[in-house]
Amino acid sequence: MKLFSSVHDVTDINALAKEALELKRNPYSHTHLGKNKTLALVFMNPSLRTRMSTQKAAMNLGMNVMVLNIDKEGWALELKDGAVMNGTTVEHIREAAAVMGEYADIIGVRSFPGLKDRELDYSEDIFNKFVKYCGVPVVSLESATRHPLQSLADLVTIEELKTKAYPKVVLTWAPHVKALPQAVPNSFAEWMCRADADFIIAHPEGYALSTEFTRGAAITHNQEAALADADFIYVKNWSAYEPYGKVMPGNEDWMLTNEKLRATNNAKVMHCLPVRRNLELSDEILDGPNAVVVHEAGNRVWAAQAVLKRMLEGS
């Protein structure tokens, strides 16, 4: 594997999830694989889980890891080709990415969307320029439109905890005070559309995701109907795709509560984290027996380790 940017870079998602679970059972089975290999993690935005779980995964494989918070610690990056750099940007991504490729065998990149210009965000300009200029395998640590390491960990979690071959999985929109990216729901949808699951998306009017990611999913504005008999509920806020990046007033009643859980099949509640308590998800759910969010975050290690292992193997 030379690139892990979306579900399209994986031929068999179930085999990859199985490999992640094998690594969970035997984390140090491949410590020789990463000997004298270096992973560089480049962050343009904050991170707790992605940063620590990917570092841990690399260490389990015997790799060395370097982290650069390029937004705070690097030179201001220029992205535009042909730019006359007489303003605030100091270094072009062409040199920056190429230089990092001299120091690392694999590079991870986190680059959130600006949520102002849809065409620019959905072109994955920053992520694709890293891929183009660094010259080594690249793994997405959440890009403008996708978060595949999260989605793989989510698939692993569902495979691990499901009690039937074909569980009902509901992705439900949740309230928030800010405009958030569509990357996590886009990505979860495109993985779930290929998973062994009955997959439904519930969101208020105005929050339809791009059909590029949701093709094959059932979509409804009726949260109550969607939650009926659900085995897994994936809670996430996102801003509108059209009009791009907007947040509509209202819809506070979309927060998941114990009352809403009653109609489900004792559903396990998932969230990628970080989660804003009592806005996106109630205390009673997060502190109750149905929440699997910490377990899910734990699985980020095995997802990252399976991907890094394949990159190191060149398979």
Ligand X SMILES: NC(=O)OP(=O)(O)O
Minimum distance from residue 15 beta carbon to ligand SUO (Å): 25
CA distance 34 to 21: 19
Minimum distance from residue 72 beta carbon to ligand SUO (Å): 16
Choose from ligand SUO, ligand X, none: what does 288 bind? Cβ within 5-8 Å by kind.
none
C-alpha angle 42/46/50, rounded to 5°? Answer: 65
For β-strands 106-110 and 38-43, DSSP reports them as: parallel
* One residue of 80, 132, 164, 276 binding ligand SUO per CB under 6 A: 276
The nearer residue to ligand X, 142 or 280, going by C-beta atoms, is 142
Which residues in 133-176 belong to E strands, given as ranges?
Answer: 138-140, 168-173
**Contact between 113 and 95 (Cβ < 8 Å):** no
Supply 241's token pair.
């795709």
Known binding residue 215? Answer is no
Site mask for ligand SUO (CB under 6 A), range 254-273, x = bound:
------------------x-
Minimum distance from residue 44 beta carbon to ligand SUO (Å): 12
Choose the binding region for ligand SUO from 57-65, 181-189, 250-258, 306-314 (rule: CB under 6 A).
181-189
The nearer residue to ligand X, 209 or 272, going by C-beta atoms, is 272
Residue 1 binding ligand SUO, by CB under 6 A: no
Q: What is the dihedral of CA 222, 225, 231, 236, to 10 degrees?
A: 10
* One residue of 47, 55, 140, 299 binding ligand X per CB under 6 A: 47
Looking up tokens 């109550």 gives 224
Choose from ligand SUO, ligand X, none: what does 48 bind? Cβ within 5-8 Å by kind.
ligand X
Exposed (0-12), middle (13-18) or buried (19+): which is 84, by Cβ within 10 Å? exposed
Residue 48 binding ligand X, by CB under 6 A: yes
The letter for the amino acid at 59 is M
- Reduce the DSSP state of residue 220 to 3 states and report it: strand
The nearer residue to ligand X, 13 or 303, going by C-beta atoms, is 303
- Containing 186, the helix (H) or strand (E) segment is helix 183-192
The nearer residue to ligand SUO, 132 or 276, going by C-beta atoms, is 276
Question: Could you tell me which residues are beta bridge partners of residue 220?
Answer: 202
Extract the annotated binding site for carbamoyl phosphate. Answer: 47-50, 75, 110, 147-150, 272-273, 300
